[in-house]
Each structure stands twice: as C-alpha cells, then as structure tokens.
Amino acid sequence: MVSNENVNNQEETKWLRCSNCRDLIYKRIFFENQKVCPLCNFHYRLTAHERIELLFDKGSFVEINAHLSSVDLLGFKTPEETYEETLRRNQEKTGLKEACITGRGKIKGVECIGIVFDFFFMGGSMGTVVGEKVARAFEEALSKELPLVAVTASGGARMQEGIFSLMQMAKTSLLAGRFKRESQKAFVTLMTNPTTGGVLASFASLADFIIAEPGALIGFAGPRVIEKTVKAKLPKGFQTAEFLYERGLIDMVIPRSKLSESISEVISIGVNR
Amino acid sequence: MRRFSYDFETKIIDLEEKLRKVNQLASQNPSFEREVKELERKIENLKKKVYGNPTPWQRVLFSRHPERPKVRDFINALINGFIPVQGDRLFAADNAIVAGIGFFGGREVAVCGTDKGKNTRENLTKNFGMAHPEGYRKCLLVMELAERFKIPFLTFIDTPGAYPGIGAEERGQAWAIARCIEKMLWLQVPTLAIITGEGGSGGAIAIACADRILMLENAYYSVISPEGCASILWHDEKRAEEAAEVLKLTASDLHSFGLVYEVIPEPLGGCHRDPNKIFKRVRESIKKHLDELMVKEIGTILEERHNFYRQIGNIFK
Ligand SMILES: [Zn+2]
C-alpha cells in the first residue's frame, strides 16, 4: 500500500497499491508520473527537495539561509520527549534542518524566490525558524526585485514553540504586506496537501494569486476539529482545493504536471514591464 | 444562592455564602458580629493560601469564569457614546464581535472586541465568543474607519478561538484572519490590544497585532488551547492542566518574553470578584499607553511596530 508517509519505503516490489483508489500501480509509472496515481489522480505528498526538483529548472535552485535551525525557547518538554529531541528526530528522518527550504531559482526561465515547505518535518509546522526564513525570503525578493513563490504544506503553527509560533503569523503577514506594498512583482502561493491553520491564516492566503494541487486539503481548522464542534459529518469534498475553487477562495486548481508552466505565467506578470 | 465555583476554591465560596448569611443575622442581632469577624479572617487567610499563587491552569480557569466581565462590560464601562458597526456589509452580522466608535475619556477611538455571552441563551447569539469570517471582516471595516478619522484603534480580546465550522470555512475564515493581521500591522494610527480573558490562537491574534499588547493578570494567550495541546500530545483532553504548564501561556510568561507590554493586576481570586476595580485599572492603563503613543509621529509608531513584530523569536542556532 502506498500512503503519503511510506511512498519511498517500498523499494522491494515492482507494484504499489494506491491508498486512495486501492488499485495496483506499476511503480516505475507512478514515479514517472511525479507521484500522482495514474488511475485515480491522487496527488501524493512530495518532500521539499522533490518539489524543488519538480518546479524549478534543473540545477537553478540555490538555497539561502540554509543554516538556520531552531532552539527550544520555552523549555518545552513532555514526559515522553523534549522539543530538542523532537527536532533531532525530525532532522534525522528528513535530512533537513527545518520545515521549509528557501532559495532563489528559475521556473521555466523566470527567476524568483521560492519558499518550499516539507510536511515530513514536524508536519510542516511554522515555528520561529520557518517564520524567519519566510520573512527573509520576502525581503530577498524585495531587494532583488524578484517575484515570490510559496509552496505550502503545513498543519499550521508549531505547538512546541507556543506563543512564538503564533507570532510568526504576524511576522510573515507583516512581510507579505510589505512585499505587496513595495514590490511590483507577483506573489503566488501554491497550496499543497495539506495547508491549514496558522500558515493558511497568515502569509499563504495573502498572495496575489493562489494555486492549489488537485484534492489538497485546505482550511483554517482541521476536519476532525470541525466535526467535533458541529457534531455532524462533513459534506463530501469539504475543504478540498476544488471546494475552495468553487467558492472563489483560490484562483486555480492545477495538476502536478502543469504546475511549472502555470506558476511561470503568473510570476511573469510585471517582469518585462 | 450558591455561586459558581471551581473545585480548588469551593471552600472559599462556601465560607463566603455563610458570611453573607451571618451578615444578615448580624444586622438584626449584634451578638453575631464576632462570628462575622471570625469568618472574615478565616476567608482572608484561605484566599491568600488558595489564590496567592495560581497555577497556569487555574489562571486559564479564571479567564473562563462565567462571571468574569465580558468584553461588552469593558466597553460599557470605558467607552462613552458608543456607535456600533453591525455587520460586514457583505454577508452577515456576527454578534461574537462588538465593534464601533466611541469616546475613551475625551478621546475618540475605534474599538473592536470578541464578546462572549454570560449564559447559554446569550451564547447562542454570541457563539461563545468565537467569530466567523464576517466578524473579522467587520473588524476590517472599523480599522478603515480608524484610519479615515485618524483615531486610535483599540481591541479587547476574550475568545477561545475563531469558529471552526462549515460556514466559516466556506467563507474563508483563514483569509479573513490573515487580512486582519496584515491590516492591523500596517494601520496608520496608534493601536492597543487588551487581552481580558482568553487569547485563543488565530482568533485572538487576528485583532491583537497592536503597538502594545496589554494583558489582565489571569488572561492567557496561546497558540493552541490547553485541551487541544493535550489531545495532540497525549490523545487525552483531560491532561489540559499539564499542557497549560508547558505552553507558557500566562500573562507573566508573555511579559517575561517581552511580548506583552504590561500585565494589569487582578483582585485576588479573579477580576469577577471586583469588576469596578478592574475597570478602573484597565482605564488607567489604556490612558497611560494612549498618552504615550499619541505624542509620537505615526512614522515612528509604524517603524517601532514593524521592528517589534519583525524580531519576535529571533534566536537561532
Ligand atoms: Zn489511485
């Protein structure tokens, strides 16, 4: 069975079972298809590195602020684990320092600053380092007069940094606001599965254009929280990209294979003025 | 009638009920006066012991106390000639948000706040202080008014969070909150946020991005509710008390982090025990901070505001 978690850990067989349609997929075709099920079109989660490889022109992406790594501001610990242990575990698991990678690169020849979240690092949660990298990415895009592309995959603000995480909503919205006031280049968010909570309710939803991958879960509150609050089953397709598209909250739902093209068109606005 | 009490303070509430009874008797029969004195002393000692050093969880409980003054009480006590804005001019009137323009002392101000009900009936219209997108869009309207009239913008916050419901999602809860945060951070007038009770996550920060954040002593401000945190960490909401400890969500924690400008002390056992005292303290505090902000150039105010929010949590490895 392929799921969003273990898609890379099934090297031994030639076949995969899709966790969405439950059908068998030939593994080579699945990977050639950029981890989209060829039968049901389910878009499996990508790591930040896979996403960069998918979107950016080959070899064009140069990471910035790669060294930033979180410290334990609250002394957060549970009887099971300290925050520092949680961080180390996620760093070892993903090979990343933090839940997002930022840098400069080209998408179909158009130069831009990119922010790419990795859901496999603590659910793509936004703590102080993610907030700071997002802020610096906006500043870099402003000073270099480049458009900005944010690719989100996040459960929201990072609980383990408490109020400091919540405040990153303010920090990133401040910079998104500055970019929109001072830059004539485009700011586009690509929302991938899932984009929720504090990331959605800050810079991500402030973009000039919002694109989403098919089927992505996008919402302020998680479906389980909502179900518990309203004490009812949620309508089918609730909080999916398509659902939000119909309600005018996002601008485009674009399949993975066409993303580079669509994004490059959006970030070309104002470039050749 | 017996008043509401939490488990840890039951003894005090019981004794206070007895004191009220004995006081009635004493007014007719002076021989009860000695008992009055004795009870009063007993209660004072017990209050010091029980309320003297509340745990974070006890403060959360105070912040949610049903008799705690609600945002509307603060507005009624502190703002004169309040002219309300009823809705967002787009979809609906959200009664979880009170918003409008009035006078604070002699000074015209724009005001927004999240308002809880005092009983179940009120809470049906107030949605327990949990706003929908329309509520936040109403706040955006009032922020625009503040800018147009060049008057300071004040917010009062007491909310468990923004409403996690079907309609709220359909109409862009996250979009509305983000717009509020951005707008408030760029607002061209002085701003002040007062967290009077619950500062619940995104629903609170939506209208808390002020030049100065003030907090009542027993208010909390957190990225997630203690219950939500406990349910994620241990799949057990009942461990909220432990979660309240690890989240560092009290006014004094946030003040020590340099995020909250001033903590306004409450009467022992919570400000519902003496609402007039807390109104007076909040009034004095708002006056002081507005006086200090109003003499500054707006350019300086924005620069300081932006520097403050830009550097939060900038400690890295
Ligand atoms: Zn499939």
Q: What is the pLDDT of residues B229-242, one digit of tens each?
A: 999 989 999 999 99
Of the CA atoms within 13 Å of residue B312, those in its CB half-sphere come to 29
Helices (H), chain A: 27-32, 48-55, 83-94, 128-143, 162-182, 197-200, 223-230, 241-246, 259-267
Report how far apart, in Å, the C-alpha atoms of A113 and of each of A97, A178, A206, B23 are: 19, 15, 16, 73
Query: Which residues are paired to B316 by β-bridges?
Result: A70
Instruction: Return d(Cα A181, Cα B179) in angstroms, integer.
Output: 14
| Residue of B130, B137, B181 best to disrupt the A interface, most CBs of A under 10 A | B181
Q: If you measure from the C-alpha of residue A156 to the centroid of ligand 1, how many angstroms do you get, rounded to a whole number? A: 27
Chain A residues within an 8 Å CB radius of B140: none
Position B262 scores a pLDDT of 98
Least CA distance to B174: which residue of chain A? Answer: A201
Cα B191 to the chain's mean position, in Å?
A: 16
Chain A residues within an 8 Å CB radius of B168: 220-221
Q: If you measure from the C-alpha of residue A13 to the centroid of ligand 1, how many angstroms do you get, rounded to a whole number? A: 17
Average confidence (pLDDT) over A238-260: 97
Closest to A113 in 3D by CA, of A151, A152, A148, A64: A148
Give one DSSP letter per residue of A218-242, joined into a string.
EESS-HHHHHHHHTSPPPTTTTBHH
Position A6 scores a pLDDT of 53
Q: A64 lies in a domain?
A: yes
Q: If you measure from the C-alpha of residue A35 to the centroid of ligand 1, how many angstroms do you get, rounded to a whole number? A: 10
Instruction: Return d(Cα B223, Cα A24) in angstroms, integer.
Output: 42
Q: If you measure from the C-alpha of residue A164 to the centroid of ligand 1, how many angstroms do you get, rounded to a whole number? A: 39
CATH number of the CATH domain containing A203: 3.90.226.10
Model confidence at A215: pLDDT above 90: yes
Contact B92, B123 (CB under 8 A): no
Instruction: Report the residue from B171, B185, B316 with minimal CB separation from A173.
Output: B185
Do A236 and A257 belong together in one domain? Answer: yes
Position A272 scores a pLDDT of 72
Do A140 and A233 belong together in one domain? Answer: yes
Do A7 and A136 belong together in one domain? Answer: no
Chain A residues within an 8 Å CB radius of B164: 220-222, 225-226, 229
Average model confidence (pLDDT) for chain B?
95
Average confidence (pLDDT) over B203-225: 98
- Closest CA of chain A from B101, distance in Å: 25
Structure tokens, B204: 């609170």
* Domain that includes residue A212, residue range: 45-267
Instruction: Report the residue from A69, A162, A169 with minimal CB separation from B181.
Output: A169
Position B29 scores a pLDDT of 86
- Closest CA of chain B from A16, distance in Å: 31
Model confidence at A136: pLDDT above 80: yes
The interface pTM score, or ipTM, of the predicted complex is 0.96
Average model confidence (pLDDT) for chain A?
94
Position A79 scores a pLDDT of 82
Position A4 scores a pLDDT of 60
Listed by start position, the domains of chain B span 7-53, 60-310
- Closest CA of chain A from B84, distance in Å: 27
- Closest CA of chain B from A97, distance in Å: 10
Average confidence (pLDDT) over B86-91: 94
Average confidence (pLDDT) over A44-59: 97
Average confidence (pLDDT) over B190-195: 98
Cα B217 to the chain's mean position, in Å?
A: 10
Q: What ranges make up the beta strands (E) of B69-118?
A: 79-84, 97-104, 107-114
Least CA distance to B173: which residue of chain A? Answer: A220
Average confidence (pLDDT) over A118-129: 98
Instruction: Report the residue from A71, A177, A220 with minimal CB separation from B162.
Output: A220
What is the architecture of the domain spanning B60-310? Alpha-Beta Complex (3.90)
Place of tokens 């009170």: B98
Least CA distance to A167: which residue of chain B? Answer: B312
Instruction: Report the residue from A73, A80, A249 with minimal CB separation from B175.
Output: A249
Q: If you measure from the C-alpha of residue A24 to the centroid of ligand 1, how many angstroms do you get, rounded to a whole number? A: 8
- Give me the number of domains chain A comprises: 2
Q: Are B317 and A71 in contact (CB < 8 Å)?
A: yes
Position A166 scores a pLDDT of 98
| pLDDT single digits (tens) B38-56 | 999 999 999 999 999 999 9
Do A101 and A236 belong together in one domain? Answer: yes
Query: Which residues are paired to B113 by β-bridges?
Result: B98, B156
Q: Are B221 and A202 in contact (CB < 8 Å)?
A: no
Closest to A116 in 3D by CA, of A134, A139, A143: A134
Per-residue confidence band for A3, with pLDDT thresholds at 50, 70 and 90:
low
Model confidence at A8: pLDDT above 80: no
Model confidence at A10: pLDDT above 80: no
Neighbours of A2 (CB within 10 A): 22
Structure tokens, B212: 């100065």
Do A176 and A208 belong together in one domain? Answer: yes
Q: Are A73 and B313 in contact (CB < 8 Å)?
A: yes
Do A71 and A115 belong together in one domain? Answer: yes
- Closest CA of chain B from A80, distance in Å: 9
- Closest CA of chain A from B230, distance in Å: 10
Q: Are A205 and B248 in contact (CB < 8 Å)?
A: no
User: Which pairing describes strands B107-114 and B153-159: parallel, antiparallel, or unpaired?
Assistant: parallel
Instruction: Report the residue from A77, A164, A220 with minimal CB separation from B174.
Output: A220
Instruction: Return d(Cα B201, Cα B192) in angstroms, integer.
Output: 18
**B285 versus B313: which is more confidently predicted?**
B285
Position B317 scores a pLDDT of 78
Per-residue confidence band for B275, with pLDDT thresholds at 50, 70 and 90:
very high
Least CA distance to B172: which residue of chain A? Answer: A249
Q: H or E segment at A110?
A: strand A110-117
Instruction: Return d(Cα A69, Cα A84) in angstroms, integer.
Output: 11
Between helices B56-63 and B240-247, what is the axis angle to 10°? 100
Contact A133, A98 (CB under 8 A): yes
Q: A273 lies in a domain?
A: no
Contact B136, B175 (CB under 8 A): no
Q: In A103-136, which positions are buried (b, 16+ CB within 10 angstroms) versus exposed (e)?
A: bbbbbeebbbbbbbbbbbbbbbbbbbbbbbbbbb
| pLDDT single digits (tens) B96-150 | 999 999 999 999 999 999 999 999 999 999 999 999 999 999 999 999 999 999 9
What count of residues does chain B have? 317
Chain A residues within an 8 Å CB radius of B242: 78
Report how far apart, in Å, the C-alpha atoms of B248 and of each of A73, A161, A204, B60, B226 are: 10, 9, 27, 11, 10
Position B1 scores a pLDDT of 62
Do A31 and A61 belong together in one domain? Answer: no
Do A22 and A66 belong together in one domain? Answer: no
Q: A272 lies in a domain?
A: no
Q: Give SS3 for A71.
A: coil
Chain B residues within an 8 Å CB radius of A167: 205, 259, 309, 312-313
Per-residue confidence band for B32, with pLDDT thresholds at 50, 70 and 90:
confident
User: Which pairing describes strands A100-107 and A62-64: parallel, antiparallel, or unpaired?
Assistant: antiparallel
| pLDDT single digits (tens) B240-263 | 999 999 999 999 999 999 999 999
Instruction: Report the residue from A168, A198, A205 with minimal CB separation from B313.
Output: A168
- Closest CA of chain B from A225, distance in Å: 7
Position A13 scores a pLDDT of 78
Average confidence (pLDDT) over B200-209: 98
Q: If you measure from the C-alpha of residue A258 to the centroid of ligand 1, how many angstroms do you get, rounded to a whole number? A: 19
Instruction: Report the residue from A78, A163, A219 with minimal CB separation from B257.
Output: A163
Phi, psi of A219 (to 5 degrees): -175, 165
Do A96 and A35 belong together in one domain? Answer: no
Q: If you measure from the C-alpha of residue A34 to the centroid of ligand 1, how many angstroms do you get, rounded to a whole number? A: 13
Q: Give SS3 for A44.
A: coil
Least confident of A8-12, A128-132, A246-250, B37-41: A8-12
